Amino acid sequence: MIVYFDFLCPFAWRGLELMALIGERPRLVHYSLVQGNHAENPERRNPTWLLARQPLGEGSEFQQASLRAFMASHAARRQGEELAFAFALHLFRLRHVDGLKLDDPETAREAARRAGLDLERFELALQDETGLRQELATDLEEAAHLGVFGTPTFVLGSGDAAYFRFAHLPETRDDAERLWGTYVEVLSNPVRIETIKRPR
């Protein structure tokens, strides 16, 4: 299973928390809401404005927060998928629960500490800006090829994929498993349900 996500998105945070509750560890792939919604990218599958090519220290607050968080996430990924998942979850919590800023390097360091990363290796990986940007570019190309437009987007082992947004995180593992089961059932239904949306 794969999940496309962006640290800016509270729905993506709930998606990863859901995975933690049910004991799943999907492969994490980054999708940039900043890039996907940029005015110079009318075609999501063929973007011309690329986040991975933008300078650090310039651009909007969201752009900088997104870019720094993604690069830190790639630095964490170099210590393995399990630690990368733990890092992502802690970085989400620091942002969406504790209200810390993603563009503050200390926020990523705290997430690395909480996730149990080797901090020396993490700091060393952060210095490889060229390599981290290339890894991010690869993730964003993969997301664009699939046509991802929102986070979290899950891709099941069957190849079925969909954006999955829910308002409240389940409180128990049983509730989480029921929610996930409903999502999987909708995706695997042969009538190919495409939209379920509540009126506002």
Domain assignment present for 138: yes
Predicted confidence at residue 31, as pLDDT, reads 97
Helix H or strand E encompassing 96: helix 81-96
Predicted confidence at residue 20, as pLDDT, reads 97
Instruction: Quickly state the pLDDT bin for 196 (edges 50, 70, 90).
Output: confident
Strand 153-155 with 27-30, pairing: unpaired
Quick one: which of 31, 45, 63, 37 has its CA closest to 138? 31
pTM comes to 0.94
143-186: pLDDT as tens digits:
999 999 999 999 999 999 999 999 999 999 999 999 999 999 99
**What CATH number does the domain containing 120 carry?**
3.40.30.10
> Rounded distance, CA 41 to CA 17, Å?
30
Q: Is the pLDDT of residue 13 over 90?
A: yes
Backbone angles phi, psi at 82, to 5 degrees: -65, -45
Domain assignment present for 21: yes
Predicted confidence at residue 84, as pLDDT, reads 97
Domain assignment present for 39: yes
Predicted confidence at residue 105, as pLDDT, reads 93
- Enter the DSSP assignment of 59: S
> Rounded distance, CA 159 to CA 55, Å?
35
Lowest-pLDDT range of 121-125, 170-174, 188-192: 188-192
Predicted confidence at residue 60, as pLDDT, reads 83
Amino acid identity, residue 73?
A: S
Domain assignment present for 198: no
Number of domains in the chain: 1
> CA distances (Å), 31 to each of 10, 151, 186, in order?
14, 7, 23
Count of positions (residues) in the chain: 200
> Rounded distance, CA 97 to CA 119, Å?
23
82-105: pLDDT as tens digits:
999 999 999 999 999 999 999 999
Domain assignment present for 199: no
Contact call for residues 137 and 52 (beta carbons, < 8 A): yes
Domain assignment present for 193: no
Quick one: which of 150, 160, 179 has its CA closest to 36? 150
Domain assignment present for 27: yes
Domain that holds residue 111: 2-188
Domain assignment present for 195: no
Q: Is the pLDDT of residue 126 over 80?
A: yes
17-70: pLDDT as tens digits:
999 999 999 999 999 999 999 999 988 899 999 999 999 887 888 898 999 999
Q: Is the pLDDT of residue 200 over 80?
A: no
